[in-house]
Amino acid sequence: MEYIVGVDIGGTFTDCVTMDARGTVTVGKSLSTPEDYSVGALNAVRNAAESLGLADETELLASARLFFHACTIGDNALITGSGAVTGLITTKGFADTLRIMRGRFTDGVPESEIFHLSVLDKPEPMVPRRLIEEVDERVDYKGAVLVRLDPAQAEKSAAELVSKGVEAIAVSLIWSVANDRHERAIADVMAEQHPGVFLSLSSEVAPYLGEYERTATTVFNACIGPRISAYIKRLGGRLREQGLAGEPLIMQSYGGVLGVEATARNAIGTIESGPVAGVVGSGWLGRLMDLPDILATDMGGTTFKVSVIRDGAIEMDYKPVILRHQIYSTKVWVESIGAGGGSIAWTDPRTGLLKVGPKGAGARPGPACYGRGGTEPTVSDADLVLGYLNPDYFLGGRMSLDPEQARRAIEQRVAGPLGLSVEAAAGGIYRIINAHMSDLIRRATVERGYDPRDFTLFAFGGAGPVHAARYAAELGIRQVVVPLTASVHSATGLVSSDIVCQYGKSDRLPVPADRERVNRNFDELVGRGRAELAAAGFEGDGVRIERSLDMRYRYQVHELNVAMPEGDAALSEQELGRVYERFDDLYERTYGPGSGYREAGKEIMNFRLTATGMLDKPRLQPYPLSSGDASGAVTGRRKVFFEEFEERRETPVYGFDALRPGNEMAGPAIIETPVTTIVVNPGNRAAMDAYRNVRLLIGH
């Protein structure tokens, strides 16, 4: 039997999903190992192999036709400041680009802090001034060379940075988007004289107008590049030793996968790739279930994330903000807060109020109930005290939880100081974390012009299904889908992915644009995309080409990405006219009726291309539906606290593995799976569908 294997590394757990040729899904899970994440990855594969009845991970990997992977190495390197020592080579006079930014330094700042602008400062540049070298060169906006680069000066600048101990160098020269000759010349110097130093060129990483954003992107890529490259190559070696024939394919933040070498060159593409995989999995599952409008919510051990899928299309972010720097790296739009199972509850010493998060307990030591030395009360501790979690069936019984440790932590840090019972304190923690999550969803929908009631909410991540029905009810959402692979759903997104390459080019054109120039720009990008996919073995019907334009009203700042007809056929004047009209419609849908400023005229800013090599994957198989009676799946009863009742209520507990598609039950109820727990609140109903997902019907 051949398998497709996906492994996603999270802050607390590492998840594995396998799919066989029949479309049958099997899951594995293990604790993440921050000291060496590849250990946790192989542990998760081993757990999946055991669930399949195989001898060990070697047998599974030897049978793997494809191996997908998402990791947090880049995210962690940036957040903790443990990336490579990075230098920057730029055009003379532009050494302070990163410090100047654009005069706007509130990107990525929480709303509560924006009101205190007087105490805010710009973020520290990723590269200190002493590690920035300037070179005499100048290219104009048309690509003409005004000042030719002196190779000797390029050599001197590179040598100076290397002598100061840099491990990576970013090269960002002015107007390299119009002519990259000088950046290429510096790359030649580096390849010849300093081949061991990681190199990042802005003309490759971010070929778009805007020297600040382009420079920041190139620097971030250089900073995490050596760490990403070393990790995925080490992981690839270990996988080969364990029997994997091919190379691992690495998830990118725009929703596709690339090979090891391509990922090493474009390391910035791995940022938040794990959460992105969960969104991709939600879109894939939504198409099978005919659900085009989805709120994908992921509550793991550390964070809570939400993404939007509208009319079957995943929303993208073309200028994401990382560490308060706006960058050019296309990614799936994901909004997140520090709200997970490991989020720590605490009392504010100034106000005496109960707070939850954003600080978390992580994988080590973890929540107090893990019994690994943690003493801080967390959301998972509250879930256990309230009776939602079974202390003897965490991770399918592979790990036991300690209720007394959970109670002690809540008593000492929360209940005692606030004069509450442990149960009341746990209930407060539960309600506060749910309110945080519903607020984030509200910002992702209502504040962006969407009505959350029009969406189906997908709840995944290990902690998500415990809380989803509550935060959905607060928003008026009527249906929640807990996927079969809820706790490992990001890994599910991996096994449903394709090889995706993205290309872009800046060329500012007034509308109506010169049709020949538009087609010429796209032809250049299409040629690159088809050539790269052909080298990977994809041609003909195995390739999908999607083109789009970044457009704006002239002299305004808000750009929107407008999709073009699929394929690479030359565009007619009529087709371009329809694209311009779509921009007007999209602008008013995004910013409100009457917001469009048609009198200003329009302009094209960037050309974008997505080239997809479609991998041959099995289709998830539906099961026949049985009767609605789920009583045969009841494994026991326990007393659980629900806010609708004044005291704990004896509640039936259902074993997920004993449920059959078509089975239904009324709340209150608990459904225990090997990887998560689903809470069915009073007044709600739950049903298992043909794909063995659990659907919660809120208010039914």
Is the pLDDT at 110 greater than 80? The verdict is no
Tokens of 557: 């700042």
Is the pLDDT at 111 greater than 70? The verdict is no
Residue ranges per domain, the chain? 3-77+230-270, 81-228, 361-430, 499-613, 631-687
CATH of domain 499-613: 3.30.1490
Q: What is the pLDDT of residue 192?
A: 95
Distances (CA, A) of 481 to 472, 648, 668: 11, 26, 17
Lowest-pLDDT choice from 270-279, 462-471, 599-608: 270-279
Eight-class DSSP state of 289:
T
Pairwise CA distance, residues 571 & 519, whole Å:
7
Q: pLDDT tier at 180 (50, 70, 90 boundaries)?
A: very high
CATH of domain 3-77+230-270: 3.30.420.40
Q: At 541, phi and psi to the nearest 5?
A: -70, -10
Pairwise CA distance, residues 311 & 287, whole Å:
10
Pairwise CA distance, residues 320 & 314, whole Å:
15
Q: How many CB atoms lie within 10 A of CB 666?
A: 15
Lowest-pLDDT choice from 69-73, 349-353, 363-367, 634-638: 363-367
Pairwise CA distance, residues 375 & 367, whole Å:
7
- The residues facing 313 across adjacent strands are 310
DSSP conformation letters of 83-107: S--EEEEEETT-TTHHHHTTS---T
pTM: 0.87
Write out pLDDT tens, residues 611-630: 999 988 777 888 899 888 99
Write out pLDDT tens, residues 301-313: 888 999 999 999 9
- The residues facing 58 across adjacent strands are none
**Same CATH topology for 3-77+230-270 and 499-613?**
no
Pairwise CA distance, residues 501 & 612, whole Å:
6
Eight-class DSSP state of 126:
S
Write out pLDDT tens, residues 405-424: 999 999 999 999 999 999 99
**236 within 8 A of 71, measured Cβ to Cβ:** no
**Percentage helix, strand, coil for the chain under 3-state DSSP, each rounded to 5:** 40, 25, 35
The per-residue pLDDT of the chain, averaged, comes to: 91
User: Across residues 183-203, what is the average pLDDT?
Assistant: 96
Q: pLDDT tier at 581 (50, 70, 90 boundaries)?
A: very high
Distances (CA, A) of 600 to 136, 194, 414, 587: 38, 50, 57, 14
Give kind and range of the element (H or E) at residue 501.
strand 499-510
Eight-class DSSP state of 120:
-
Q: pLDDT tier at 553 (50, 70, 90 boundaries)?
A: very high
